[in-house]
Structure 1
Amino acid sequence: MTQCFERKTDISLTRYEILQILAKKERVLQGELQKVLKIDQGAVTRHLKILEEKHYVTRERNPQNNREVYVQISPAGQAIIQGCQTNKKAVLEQFYQGINDAQKAELITVLGIIYQNITTMD
């Protein structure tokens, strides 16, 4: 599914998630992104570097605390979010092609049970 999303949108699911988080807030500390995404600091830095190279985000150091980096979505990043939303809808329609509403509801129920089983594993 993630590979299909990347092919259709030309952006990884994690980077898309970063852009979504940034679209909801004006500025976010890079450390906050790490906590929300539950990935290590190096991974966040690599993703942000790619997003910055594509001009989807801007980063700037906090003048009061040089160790903190603020991240903000750019207008180009906002445009990518809009395009991804459209592509996401088309991809989901393809995924569910030939599946009726009752089958979708059953699938959601089964996936919910699997999710609960995974989250309560020791």
Structure 2
Amino acid sequence: MNLETLKEQIYYQIQLVNKDLYTKFEFCVGSSPSRTEILKFLYENGKIAQMSLQKKLNIDKAAITRHLKQLEASNYIERTKEDKDQRVTWVELTSSTKEEIDYLFKQRERFLSEILADFSYEQLKVFYEMLNTMQDNILKTTK
């Protein structure tokens, strides 16, 4: 296999892994990776303005709104408008979600343990560094 073919195979494999990872994560954990990260952030940091949450998690405006609507419909979070400025929406966990979120995090932890079970610590470190390098290269890519 030549270098160009290998690069194409790696790209294709990354696409497959990404698709399968997302699908399996949602099936095993019961929530999408993005919604789980939103809940994790709120759990660790508390009440925050929706726009700030969107920026901190680097999720586009339409997606954050969609995720928050789903979390609100599931009674995980509540959103309230700022009294002095109706353009500001505050987001926080509902008081009844702590046990459910603890369960969600345990499922997430179990999922990660299962998908990374056959890797040594050293392999995981190298893999992490490789992914960071790839992400840096993606961000440097121009038209």
Q: TM-score, normalised by structure 2?
A: 0.74
- In angstroms, what is the RMSD of aligned CA positions? 1.8
Matches within 5 A, 1:2-41: 2-41=22-61
Q: Higher strand proportion, which one?
A: 1
Q: Match for residue 12 of structure 2?
A: none
Structure having greater relative contact order (Cα 8 Å, sep ≥ 6): 1
Query: Bigger CA drift: 56-65 or 110-119?
Result: 110-119
Which runs of no fewer than 5 residues in structure 2 stay unpaired? 1-20
| Candidates 132, 136, 142, aligned match of 1:115 | 132
List, as ranges, runs of 4+ consecutive aligned residues in structure 1 with deviation greater than 4 Å.
Answer: none
| Candidates 70, 73, 79, aligned match of 1:59 | 79
Query: Bigger CA drift: 44-53 or 74-83?
Result: 74-83
Q: Match for residue 49 of structure 1?
A: 69
Q: Using a 3 Å threshold, how does the CA distance of structure 1 residues 100 and 62 change in structure 2: closer, same or farther? A: closer
Return the offset for 1:57.
Answer: 0.2
Report the Cα distance in structure 2 between the residues aligned to 1:26 and 1:54, rounded to whole angstroms: 18
SS at match of 1:75: coil
The Cα offsets for residues 51-101 of structure 1, whole Å up to 9 and x where unpaired, read as: 00000000000001110000011134322321122112222232234x253
Indicate the structure (1 or 2) with the bigger Cα radius of gyration: 2
- Length, aligned pairs only: 119
Q: Match for residue 83 of structure 1?
A: 103
Return the offset for 1:8.
Answer: 1.1
Percent identity of paired positions between Structure 1 and Structure 2: 25
Report the Cα distance in structure 2 between the residues aligned to 1:91 and 1:17, rounded to whole angstroms: 14
Q: Decide whether the 8 Å contact of 1:19 with 1:77 is kept in 2.
A: no
Q: TM-score, normalised by structure 1?
A: 0.85
Q: Using a 3 Å threshold, how does the CA distance of structure 1 residues 95 and 75 change in structure 2: closer, same or farther? A: same
Report the Cα distance in structure 2 between the residues aligned to 1:119 and 1:108, rounded to whole angstroms: 17
Report the Cα distance in structure 2 between the residues aligned to 1:55 and 1:109, rounded to whole angstroms: 40
